[in-house]
Amino acid sequence: MIRHYPWQYNDMKQVGIDYFNINEVEVYDKQMAKLRDVKQETKNIIKLLGIGCDDLVAEFGTGTGEFCLEVAKHCKQITGIDVSNRMLEYANEKIKLRGINNVDFVHGSFLTYRHSGTPVDFVITQLALHHLPDFWKQIALNRIYAILKEGGSLYLKDTVYSFDTNKYEHFFEQWISKTKSLAGEELSQDVTTAVREEFSTCDWIMEGLIKRAGFTIQHAEYEQGFLAQYVCKKTGGSIEPPSIIS
């Protein structure tokens, strides 16, 4: 078991939307569809990484499991990790309905998940790491590095700020206004809360955290001033890598 210290950041707590609330969970997929084409994004990631039938995959922040269930068609085994038991219950119902048998869902987080068995070929995390302050992002990336096999890859997509910070007021107002026009008042309020209370960081900081964990950044792409995606390969030694594999 992982030892829990009184000073450790609790990334098992819910930040932002209450995904321990079954009503929020049930509308999650519909809400995401207003802003994203999740199925097409999943296909793009599978192609970008070259995920194949012999590969082991882990996803942090799996949510309702939609990404996991699509990737399961292309890999040997995938593990989805999330802090919300409600989300995982919903995801497990999808497994039963679709008859999929190579997906495991685990209640856990970046800082609490303990990997067992063979190191994985790929780790994917999307729109989740920003829930951690920067120091704990570093610890999370170190831990991800430790569960990847040598030569394995991390795909990281998150809210990362690449806009001119001298114009932050205008940028945030425009972002929230655009979200409202595309997806409605509720999601625009979610963005407002995220900007105010969550821990999205700057592009140069995120790149530094990734490299310090031991990764080589093979691809970095920034969109709209607030979204980033990285493909990172495990190629060297991390800084005091944690022992999280049992």
- For domain 22-159+200-234, the CATH architecture is 3-Layer(aba) Sandwich (3.40)
Q: Is the pLDDT of residue 1 over 50?
A: no
Q: What's the number of CA atoms in the CB half-sphere (13 Å) around residue 175?
A: 21
Confidence of residue 33 (pLDDT cuts 50, 70, 90): low
Any idea where the domains of the chain sit in the sequence? 22-159+200-234
**Residue pLDDT, tens place only, 118-153:** 999 999 999 999 999 999 999 999 999 999 999 999
Q: Which residue has the tokens 């302050």?
A: 133
Which of 51, 86, 50, 85 is CA-nearest to residue 68? Answer: 51
Instruction: Report the alpha-carbon distance of residue 93 to residue 87 in Å, rounded.
Output: 10
Instruction: Report the alpha-carbon distance of residue 130 to residue 158 in Å, rounded.
Output: 7
Percent helix, strand and coil across the chain, each rounded to 5? Answer: 45, 25, 35
Mean pLDDT score, 183-210: 95
**Residue pLDDT, tens place only, 214-235:** 999 999 999 999 999 999 999 8
Confidence of residue 183 (pLDDT cuts 50, 70, 90): confident
